[in-house]
Amino acid sequence: MTASADHDALAALIDAYVARSAGMRFEEKRGFWDADEPSPVLKPEEEAAPLVGWPAIEGYWQRTRSLLGSLQSKHWGLHLVPLDSDTILALYNMIWSAEVDGPFLGGSPLAAHVRVTMALRRRPAGWRVFAVVESHVDGDVFVRQLYKAMA
Amino acid sequence: MANAGEPVDTIMAAWQGFDSGDSANLSPWPVDVSLVAFDSTDIITTMADTRSHLAQRARALGPLTRDWSEIMRWPLAGGGTLLIAAETLHSTDARTDEPMVRHHTIVAAMVADEAGQTRLAHMTEATPAFLPLVIAQYKRASLS
């Protein structure tokens, strides 16, 4: 497969993966992951440490579904980093927007910008995810940006 | 297969060499270095921009000390490695000399060049979201 074909296939995969945030279709998201990976890793931005293995990841998805009233995500700026012939990093920006249930944050939608580092490997059926790490911007940088945005 | 490939110390040494401007670690570079930095909102995709960002960081912070704890490591064809690790980063604010500690999740990739030598290709310094940290701190303060 050519680099261009790989790019198109990966762009389509990530489009479809991110689109499944709507409705919190996490069981469908799992279908994009490598079923043969014994230690998949997911690092959501709001978690202090990475989740390793399906029990931890599915437990997080279950908590998310119970906490949020709705979730939408959009992404842009895909950049691919080939690591070897069958392994690649996909870097992209993502904004999620969610309605959070409960008194502390409930009442109006929240949104945040994260940068996603997704690791994928080539399988006979196509590219499959085996790690996803979301990164927020550091707290003091974030606050400085807020001050600048108000100027 | 997890937990194989290059040792975490080798990967951290490559990153620290790059971070400190050690030219022995930089040339010849087989690929453009990409960086998802804790102190930037951008995804940095070229060697030049990565160097520029790290130079800017070096002016804002004092010397950096890193401690990495491996979480997962996957070997790559040709001898490279993809690593996920927990990082504790110690430094100081260059303006005030106040100490700074940050906790990151690292995604580091070393790839092999045609001669089989591995070099750093990517670094993510993933930072937890700000709001949950504030809420957790607020709750702890409320209980104290």
Q: State how far the Cα of A69 lies from the Cα of A106, in Å rounded to an integer.
A: 9
pTM: 0.90
Q: How far is B38 from chain A (nearest CA, A)?
A: 5
Q: How far is B41 from chain A (nearest CA, A)?
A: 6
Q: Which two tokens stand for residue B128?
A: 């937890």
Interface test with A, best of B46, B49, B127 (most A CBs within 10 A): B127
Touching check for B124 and chain A: CB below 8 Å?
yes
pLDDT tens, position by position, B32-71: 789 999 999 899 998 888 888 888 888 888 888 899 999 9
| CA end-to-end distance (rounded Å), chain A | 50
Give tens-digit pLDDT for A36-46: 999 999 999 98
Q: A95-103 contacts: CB < 8 A, separation 24 or more?
A: A96/A21, A96/A71, A96/A72, A97/A71, A97/A72, A97/A73, A98/A68, A98/A69, A98/A70, A98/A71, A98/A72, A99/A68, A99/A69, A99/A70, A100/A67, A100/A68, A100/A69, A101/A66, A101/A67, A101/A68, A101/A69, A102/A67
| A vs B: CB pairs below 8 A | 131
Exposed, middle or buried, A119 (CB in 10 Å: 0-12/13-18/19+)? buried
Residue B102 has pLDDT above 80, yes or no: yes
Read off the pLDDT of residues A73-112 as tens digits, 9 standing for 90 and up.
Answer: 999 999 999 999 999 999 999 999 999 887 777 677 888 8
Prediction ipTM score: 0.92
Q: Give the CA radius of gyration of chain B.
A: 17
